[in-house]
Amino acid sequence: MLDKNSKLYIPEHVGIIMDGNGRWAKKRALPRSVGHKFGAQNFRKITRYISKTGVKVLTLYAFSTENWKRPLDEVNALMKLFRQYLVDSLTDFREDDIKVVFIGDRSAFDPKLRELIEESEQVANDRKGMLLNIAMNYGSRDEILMAVKKLCKNVRDNGVDPDSLTVDDISSNLYTAGTPDPDLIIRTGGELRLSNFLLYQSAYSEFYSTETLWPDFHEEDFDKAIIEFNKRNRRFGGV
Ligand code: FPP
């Protein structure tokens, strides 16, 4: 088990694309919603583990702006799980001093879920442990568009010179403003794509993909990703 005394370099910010719940259920001839249920249980467990390894920021992709295209019963099952696991996690995350922030457009969620989201953020506001960003109704292109609109308004209303804008101005208008860019992005379920996740922030992130399906991604699988990350030679465009 990795801990804060491990000799390995622990990335500051890790992003995880939690993929493979549906396939995990299919392999067991179970409905997809059962896969999501086990996925949500794993979300709770692995978050607590990662918070103990020294990772400072963890961003988990729970629901994308494109996931609304799924059958209504699957979307409803996911919303129900979000409600349930957010309530359950409030206690766990308090014990682990985890600060919770939701990134994405929450206006699309029903009022009860929005309330829960706000409550989870409020009770965790003063915590000093790991920052957990839960990306829900999150899409990176929408996020970049939001930042561009804010900057355009600043140019229009406050006389800002467009030529003075920098890449940092974009970063500081994203949902992740103020946090370091992800060092490592892990994707479970074997696909090799980012699927509209942290596109701007991941310019120099190391990508790690594993065939392991999300409900089966446990502590030792996270450790393997960190060991692999430690073998990478990060040059950030230099030599
Ligand atoms: C992708 O698997 C997974 C999702 C779209 C949902 C991820 C959500 C969770 C793990 C629950 C998180 C819970 C909380 C409370 C934040 P998939 O359905 O695309 O799997 P497949 O590729 O095998 O079909």
Separation of alpha carbons 63 and 12, rounded Å: 23
pLDDT at 91: 81
* pLDDT tens digits, one per residue of 164-215: 999 999 999 999 999 999 999 999 999 999 999 999 999 999 999 999 999 9
| The pLDDT of residue 69 | 97
**pLDDT bucket at 6, cuts 50 / 70 / 90:** confident
* Residue closest to 62 by CA, chosen among 92, 76, 47, 82: 82
Residue 67 clears pLDDT 80, i.e. is over it: yes
Write down the pLDDT at residue 66.
95
**According to the model, what pLDDT value does residue 1 have?**
75
Q: Average pLDDT in the 16-45 region?
A: 97
What's the chain's Rg over C-alpha atoms?
18
Q: Give the 3-state secondary structure of residue 143.
A: helix
The answer to whether residue 31 scores a pLDDT higher than 90 is yes
CA 143, 145, 146, 152: dihedral to nearest 10 degrees?
150
**Is residue 70 in contact with ligand 1, taking CB distance under 6 Å?**
no
Q: Which of 67, 154, 173, 196 is catalytic?
A: 67
pLDDT tens-digit series, residues 37-53: 999 999 999 999 999 99
Residue 47 in contact with ligand 1 by CB distance below 6 A: no
Q: For residue 3, is pLDDT > 80?
A: no
pLDDT in tens, 144-170: 999 999 999 999 999 999 999 999 999
**pLDDT for the residue numbered 4:** 64
Q: Which of 18, 67, 109 to mutate to test the pocket of ligand 1 (most atoms within 8 A of CB)?
A: 18
Strands of the 131-138 sheet, one edge to the other:
99-103, 131-138, 57-64, 13-17, 184-187, 206-209
Query: What proportion of the chain, given as a percentage, has pLDDT over 70?
Result: 99
Q: Taking the domains of the chain in order of start, what are their residue ranges?
A: 13-139+180-229
Positions of E strands within 66-123: 99-103
Evaluated on CA atoms 237, 176, 211, 89, the torsion sign reads: positive
**Contact criterion met (CB below 8 Å) for 202 and 179:** no
pLDDT tens, residue by residue, 94-110: 999 999 999 999 999 99
The residue whose CB lies within 8 Å of the most ligand 1 atoms, and thus the one to mutate among 16, 19, 191, 213, is 19
CB 200, CB 143: distance < 8 Å? yes
- Which tokens go with 64? 């994308």
pLDDT for 15 beyond 90: yes
CATH code assigned to 13-139+180-229: 3.40.1180.10
- Catalytic residue check, 19: yes
Average pLDDT over residues 136-145: 98
Instruction: Please return the burial class of 100, using the count of CB atoms within 10 Å of its CB with bins 0-12, 13-18 and 19+.
Output: buried
* Residue pair 115/102 in contact by the 8 Å Cβ criterion: no
Ligand 1 atom with least separation from CA of 84: 15
Q: Is the per-residue pLDDT at 239 higher than 90?
A: no
Chain mean pLDDT for the chain:
95
Phi, psi of 136 (to 5 degrees): -130, 130
Q: Which of 3, 5, 19, 88 is catalytic?
A: 19
Both tokens of 172, joined, read 């500081």
